A and B are shown apart, each in its own frame.
Chain A
Amino acid sequence: MSADVARAESEAVANTVKVRIAPHLARLFVDAPSLLDIEAATVHDLVAALDARWPGMRDRICDSRPAIRRHMNVFVDGRRATLATELRPGADVFILTAISGG
């Protein structure tokens, strides 16, 4: 885990956020919805929570550096995020595929 992710994890407070998942990511996992509410303090925590519900989803969003995959994007309130990005209550999170990977 990178230092900035660890720092964000230790300082941030979990909030309920709204998550949208690109359909072709969601359909890789049985019963994964394209829209859900989830509690997380950071994008890193959010991905961990998704992975706990749908094992393997972290590997599709993140690589082993660890970082968000080169051709994946996570937007938080309209801004491109990293794993360390903190989440405010009610934040709008969109996990989608980049045009560069298609």
Chain B
Amino acid sequence: MTRVLTLLGTKKGAFILESDAARKDWTLSGPFCETWPMNHVIADANSGTIYAGGGNEWFGPAVWASRDHGKTWTHSSKRLAYAEGKDPITTVWSLASGHGRLYAGVAPAGLFASDDGGETWAHVAGLQEHPTRKDWNPGGAGLILHSLVLHPEDARQMWIGISAVGVFHTDDGGATWQTRNTGTRCDFLPEDQRYPEFGQCVHCLVMAPGPSGRLYQQNHCGMYRSDDGGKSWQSIEAGLPSSFGFPAAVHPRDAETLYLIPLNGDSAGRYMPDAKAAAWRTRDGGATWQDKRAGLPQHNAYINVLRQALAVDRLEPVGVYFGTGSGEVYASADEGETWTRIAEHLPSISSVETLVIDA
């Protein structure tokens, strides 16, 4: 029987929701990871190992791992550290697995890699040597490396997103990096300085499937797509209720289909517009947008969804999931047409990812 796991990172540990291919009935397990705040919980699709990245105010940063789908966990931060004298790492913000390697983005912003499933780590130091490094400034959540996008075929290529610095790309395995922010705005700067080389507040970066290499970006200031590996970005925010939001999730087989959760702006409460919950979907790469509300609360829904808390699964039809800052999880088993609340009363949710285990 196919098992579907929805992996949740929360302010008080990791949780797992489990269902079958119908994705109708769900059971919750957790909290895991000793209730440490977990910013990102992912699964390696090949091995099935679940990784949870986060940090604890007492004990510092670590990556937790479970090789039995959540039954038992270990943790490690061996060499997940900057050199002596540097500001210590406070927490792990993002994880990505691919090409036999596990990556961790941390705060203060930096990148680490593990070739042994998170047991030991090595600093990908090239990023710190970028000439812009001395001028990086934090966003509201700190100076965090929150988005990791691995090239599906070329292990040397990767895109990252740092708040509030922008997008970077490497094609040499992290030795050197290039800024990838042309066309993305900084509405918070004077009018004649709104398109700098870096300093953009990227919120979430995802890559579309297939050979197009298309990237989508939810930014603090707009929604964008790039068809040239991030060298240039085009706004696709027309038709959305707001240019502000945090997460983005792309359909696993259709590069034109993307899901967003727009919020009502950065200075108006940061909840869903008019306090009515909706996921927004495009089927044409951002040319047009549709609000999908069936089953979502439409009255007094002062809820938000953070940058890593929207995900899809790989089933047919695709399942779509989001977790809220107030501890609810909503799921759609029909590509966003209809929604059901599958969990509530959880701690504030930081991340949602999925793992499908075939029978």
Q: Which A residues form the contact surface with B (CB < 8 A)?
A: 1, 24-25, 27-28, 55-56, 59-60, 63-66, 69, 71-72, 97-98, 100-102
B77 touches A56 (CB 8 A): yes
Main secondary structure of the interface of A (DSSP, over half): loop
CA of A97 to CA of B82 in the docked complex: distance in angstroms?
23
CA of A69 to CA of B85 in the docked complex: distance in angstroms?
14
* Interchain nearest-CB distance for B128 vs A (Å): 14
Given contacts A63-B88, A64-B84, contact A28 B75 (CB under 8 A): yes
From A56, A66, A71, give the contact of B58 (CB < 8 A). A71
From B78, B82, B85, B86, give the contact of A59 (CB < 8 A). B78
- Interchain residue pairs A-B with the least CB separation, the first 4: A101-B57, A63-B88, A64-B81, A60-B59
* Residues in chain B near residue A28, CB distance under 8 A: 34, 59, 75
CA of A71 to CA of B60 in the docked complex: distance in angstroms?
9
CA of A14 to CA of B321 in the docked complex: distance in angstroms?
56
Main secondary structure of the interface of B (DSSP, over half): loop
From A25, A56, A65, A102, give the contact of B85 (CB < 8 A). A65
* Interchain nearest-CB distance for B58 vs A (Å): 4
Which residue of chain B is the closest to A56 with respect to CB atoms?
A: B76
A25 touches B59 (CB 8 A): yes
15 pairs of residues in contact across A and B, judged by CB atoms under 8 Å: A24-B34, A27-B34, A28-B59, A55-B78, A59-B62, A59-B78, A63-B81, A63-B88, A64-B81, A69-B59, A69-B60, A71-B58, A97-B58, A101-B57, A102-B57
CA of A27 to CA of B73 in the docked complex: distance in angstroms?
12
A102 touches B75 (CB 8 A): no
* Residues in chain A near residue B59, CB distance under 8 A: 25, 28, 59-60, 69, 72
Given contacts A64-B82, A64-B83, contact A59 B88 (CB under 8 A): no
* Residues in chain A near residue B62, CB distance under 8 A: 59
Given contacts A28-B75, A56-B77, contact A65 B57 (CB under 8 A): no
Interface size on B, residues (CB 8 A): 20
CA of A27 to CA of B75 in the docked complex: distance in angstroms?
12
* Residues in chain B near residue A100, CB distance under 8 A: 57
* Interchain nearest-CB distance for A65 vs B (Å): 6
A69 touches B75 (CB 8 A): no
CA of A24 to CA of B57 in the docked complex: distance in angstroms?
13
CA of A100 to CA of B75 in the docked complex: distance in angstroms?
23
Q: Which residues of chain B from 47 to 84 have a CB within 8 Å of any chain A CB?
A: 56-60, 62, 75-78, 80-84
A65 touches B88 (CB 8 A): yes
From B34, B60, B83, give the contact of A63 (CB < 8 A). B60
* Residues in chain A near residue B77, CB distance under 8 A: 56, 59
Residue B346 lies at the interface, judged by CB distance under 8 Å to chain A = no
Chain A CB within 10 Å — which of B58, B62, B83 has the most?
B58
B89 touches A64 (CB 8 A): yes
* Residues in chain B near residue A71, CB distance under 8 A: 57-58
Interface string of B69-112 (1 = CB under 8 A from A): 00000011110111111101100000000000000000000000
CA of A65 to CA of B85 in the docked complex: distance in angstroms?
5
CA of A55 to CA of B80 in the docked complex: distance in angstroms?
14
* Residues in chain B near residue A63, CB distance under 8 A: 60, 81, 88
Which residue of chain A is the closest to B62 with respect to CB atoms?
A: A59
Q: Which residues of chain B from 294 to 315 have a CB within 8 Å of any chain A CB?
A: none
* Interchain nearest-CB distance for B107 vs A (Å): 13
CA of A72 to CA of B244 in the docked complex: distance in angstroms?
38
* Interchain nearest-CB distance for B15 vs A (Å): 19
* Interchain nearest-CB distance for B62 vs A (Å): 7
From B34, B58, B84, B86, give the contact of A102 (CB < 8 A). B58
* Residues in chain A near residue B80, CB distance under 8 A: 59
